Structure 1
Amino acid sequence: MASQVTERTRETPGELIRHWRKQRHLTQQELSIRCRVSARHLSFIETGRSRPTPAMIIRVCEELDVPLRHRNDILLAAGHAPAYSESSLDQPSMRSVSRALIQILDGQMPYPSIVVDRHWDMVDANAAIDRLIADCDESLLEPPVNVLRLSLHPKGVAPRIRNLPQWRGHLLSRLDHQIRATGDPELERLRAELRKYPGGVDHVPANSLVVPLRLDTGSGVLSFFSTTTVFGTPMDVTVAELAIESFFPADPETAAALNDHGKDSAS
């Protein structure tokens, strides 16, 4: 399946390449050296005097770390076929990916783990996630469930987060980084919404090893740290945009509470 048309597809391939070059704060000279082409040739591409080949577009996109979705946009704008498929997880060709996701989620038990897409919408989760989202308003749990909205909304997890300003600062900082990397306007709209929620923002001390999530639960205050897993060298847009967010106990008390709960659920 071809990549979906994005808001920047109406531009020429040269304009799109210039946009991403500026996003990465590179001059034409710097990019030309990385791509092993002349600065003049790159200038001709950006101004539309030269039509880039598919190989040239992919080479430039690799040097600029352009997301696969947007690489397809540039190829389409230049009159070429998309180079990267965009497959649904329920397609036969994606069975190995779906099995890997299930294996990771199941293997994470009794610790919470979720799969999210590029806009932080939940794709899948293991049963342990129920401990994190207990008592959230039903409206926030209607698909598609946006994990960031669910976390920071005053009717979501936020009222139970003991260190809400710190956790808000952590999530908004990650979102800022993602927006700088992708230029995604939907993420910009999500960020504007999240910033309106109450809770304040605290910066994490520079000497901190991780940012904890300290959460009120029926088992007392549980403390987690999170990790993010992505697929290596993906060649499909869907796979490239998936991330697995896993939560591990940050102290022995949390580990004991989660393990005890897991034993009770299994019995």
Structure 2
Amino acid sequence: MSIVASGAAALPSAPDGKGVGPLLRGWREQRRVSQLELALRAGSSARHISFIETGRSRPSEEMVLRLAEHLEVPVRERNALLLAAGYAPHYPETPLDDPAMDALREGMERLIQGYEPYPALVVDATYNVLAANRGIVMLLDGVPEALLAPPLNAMRLTLHPQGMAPRIRNHRAWRDHLLAQMDRQIALRRSEPLRALYEEVAAYPVPDPTPDDQPLDAVPYFALPMRIEHDGRVLSFISSISTFNTPMDVTVSELAIETFLPADPATAKYLQDLRS
């Protein structure tokens, strides 16, 4: 499955009625950083930070970016802060199908194809699937066409009662893991589309517990596995998520590559045999 664009790029906009000061204060409070601590990190003074937050002082473009960096504000939201302060966005948002992204697309495609026969996929900030290898396609066996219509969404495919959920043996434990992961990202990004997705998938019915739904400290693996039935056997995978270091583009900052490593020798052998 080749990499596809997740939609047209959209220019960020500053929230109505909010200047940069209240927005920065909101991020600071969310990160649980005092004005003094933020000032020390940014090479400023608590007085100046206070003046910025109350609107008594307009920060320079450089100061907005510096504060955003020390508050670990996501790249998309840094652009919104700049707009609220009266400056142009600093970070471009380049569509994935833009020729400028050719090297990135080709690199990610080579990466996930090279990971075969193990599953791997590329998702955006709301878990829309932009690319997947044959290992992922294998796990989607039996999923109805309605759920496979674009845009594919990894969370829906995994947790929907007509998706992979009925075949995930430790569904409750894996569901709890995915919802906690989304919850952390919502806190980081303040994304309304992600929150809407969370509320949707959290409302899906939960199957009755199975023997595989055991406490985390009782799982005999080095990390929580996803245990899924496939073709009459149970495969176990440990997932790993990779993002780009120091992204300078909004689109790139929101990409994630998820790979699934066999959690036991039987799963590894089965996948290698399929490849033979």
Q: Structure 1 residue 153: deviation in Å?
A: 0.6
Q: Structure 1 residue 230: deviation in Å?
A: 1.1
Please name the residue that 1:227 is paired with.
240
Please name the residue that 1:154 is paired with.
161
Q: Which runs of at least 4 in structure 1 moved beyond 4 Å after TM superposition?
A: 200-203
Q: Structure 1 residue 23: deviation in Å?
A: 1.1
Q: Which moved more, 1:87-96 or 1:60-69?
A: 87-96
Please name the residue that 2:51 is paired with.
44
In 1, are the aligned partners of 2:123 and 2:129 still within 8 Å (CA)? Answer: yes
Q: Structure 1 residue 220: deviation in Å?
A: 1.0
Separation in 2, partners of 1:6, 1:190: 22
RMSD of aligned alpha carbons? 1.9
Please name the residue that 2:259 is paired with.
246
Q: Structure 1 residue 7: deviation in Å?
A: 7.2
Please name the residue that 2:103 is paired with.
96
Contiguous gaps of at least 5 residues in structure 1: none
Residue 55 in 1 paired to residue 62 in 2?
yes
Q: Structure 1 residue 134: deviation in Å?
A: 1.3
In 1, are the aligned partners of 2:239 and 2:259 still within 8 Å (CA)? Answer: yes
Q: Structure 1 residue 240: deviation in Å?
A: 0.7
Please name the residue that 2:183 is paired with.
176
Separation in 2, partners of 1:213, 1:256: 17
Decide which of 137, 145, 148 is 2:144's aligned counterpart: 137
In 2, are the aligned partners of 1:2 and 1:85 still within 8 Å (CA)? Answer: no
In 2, are the aligned partners of 1:121 and 1:147 still within 8 Å (CA)? Answer: yes
In 2, are the aligned partners of 1:219 and 1:257 still within 8 Å (CA)? Answer: no
Decide which of 222, 241, 248 is 1:209's aligned counterpart: 222
Please name the residue that 1:257 is paired with.
270
In 1, are the aligned partners of 2:14 and 2:84 still within 8 Å (CA)? Answer: no
Separation in 2, partners of 1:178, 1:10: 25
Report the secondary structure of 1:120's partner residue: coil
Report the secondary structure of 2:92's partner residue: coil
Report the secondary structure of 2:216's partner residue: coil
Contiguous gaps of at least 5 residues in structure 2: 1-7
TM-score, scaled to structure 2: 0.90
Please name the residue that 2:196 is paired with.
189
Separation in 2, partners of 1:126, 1:177: 27
Report the secondary structure of 2:205's partner residue: coil
Report the secondary structure of 1:205's partner residue: helix
- 1:176-232 Cα distance to aligned partner (Å, 9 max, x none): 111111111221121111221122696633886211011111151111111111111
In 1, are the aligned partners of 2:143 and 2:163 still within 8 Å (CA)? Answer: yes
Is the alpha carbon distance of 1:95 and 1:105 closer, same or farther for their aligned partners in structure 2, counting shifts above 3 Å? same
**Equivalent AA in structure 2 for residue 204 of structure 1:** L
TM-score, scaled to structure 1: 0.93
Separation in 1, partners of 2:144, 2:56: 55
Separation in 2, partners of 1:8, 1:205: 43
Separation in 2, partners of 1:72, 1:86: 10
In 2, are the aligned partners of 1:152 and 1:194 still within 8 Å (CA)? Answer: yes
- 1:140-161 Cα distance to aligned partner (Å, 9 max, x none): 1111111011100101100000
Is the alpha carbon distance of 1:128 and 1:104 closer, same or farther for their aligned partners in structure 2, counting shifts above 3 Å? same
Query: What count of residue pairs does the alignment treat as equivalent?
Result: 263
